[in-house]
Structure 1
Amino acid sequence: MEGTHKRRYNSELRREHAEATRLRIAEAARALMIERGFADTTMSGVAAAAGVAVQTLYATCPGGKPALVKLVYDVTLAGDGRQVPQSERPAVRAIVEEPDPARKLAMYAAMAVAILGRIGPVHRVLRAAAAAGGAGAGDLLADTERQRRTGSHQLTGHLAEVGALRPGLTADRAADEAYALTSIEVYERLVDVCEWSVEEYQDWLARTLAGALLAP
């Protein structure tokens, strides 16, 4: 029993160390990308900024720079270095467990706004890199959009299961509407261009999602 406990303890320490390293690398890379742009952010520069060996960087991101950029995006999206699927995170579980459909969507809007606030600067760097032909940037953006659509389908599939969608609205069409309303482009236009506060945007998003998706 003592040996099993020690192995479990050592395994937990290794996991925590790996998560801390992932987070440190992602934060260093994100800061350099925002400061210098995609093209001028190098693997050696990130390793130096993160305080890790270049070999450690490549071990964490075995695909090179495209894998590094994906790590930056994933960690920024999640808000931490833990390798836990979005569907298993507390904020998502709380939405699933909430019995009131309108409250579900208010919680979903709050989660979306938090993510959009974190991911915005990285997304702008990736859009500029994709436009300039940066290796992997366009593919990563396309992959993140597929993931967003999957998340929207999970939300509306759940709403359909509990009988909350408005009559005549399919889960697929509802997912399309949620996907569009929570896009970074809508967020940027209302918050950055129209100068809405984040709180105003979140309130609008919650009300608009509820009005579009839920039964009266």
Structure 2
Amino acid sequence: MPDIRDKDLDILRAEIAACRICRDTPARGEAYRLPHEPRPVAVISSKARILIAGQAPGLRVHESGLPFNDASGDRLRNWLSVDRDQFYNRDLFTIVPMGFCFPGYDAKGSDLPPRKECAPFWRQRVMDAMPQIELVLAIGGYAQAWHMGKTRSGNVTETVRDWRTTFFRNEGIRMLPMPHPSWRNTAWIRKNPWFEEDLLPVLRQSVEMLIK
């Protein structure tokens, strides 16, 4: 017999898939309507103990419907030391970006920030539906702002550098702030060798323990 909680999550998944807030009732008015058909992308789980909290889908993810289905995902899987089958197993990982839909591009061709409508409407409800989460990987400034709030140390670099403060605290869900795995951040990683030397071993050990 299906678990009652799984049925509730199926309902939540269906509601998210049908969401059209950013197209039909944009927070900042008609001029800021999402310019394309929404395709919410989120992996919600009743069993996974690790939440990957990213930013928003890029165009390739929008087209495939598969989160981190791009070069950024390849790098992230390397950071986690998992393969694609493990990464996309929703019993092991839940993947919920701050904005569920591809937000489009700015005038310079870069991805726009996550839509302002998404997190206020959905985020707390999604988190409440997954009380089993033990570790949040807060990727980038938007995820860190929501999940860490005043415990952030400043910008992304300062917050990630101070990862021990939030990771080793003795209350609440364990948080591990991370930079975005975009290849645009390659220079950042080279400039901050402590990320691969100090943080990644702890990340990989934690992931290994939580997906057993």
Please say whether Structure 1 and Structure 2 have the same fold, judged by a TM-score greater than 0.5. Answer: no
Name the one with the larger strand percent.
2
TM (normalized to structure 1)? Answer: 0.31
Q: TM-score when scaled to structure 2?
A: 0.31
Larger RCO, structure (CA 8 Å, separation 6 or more): 2
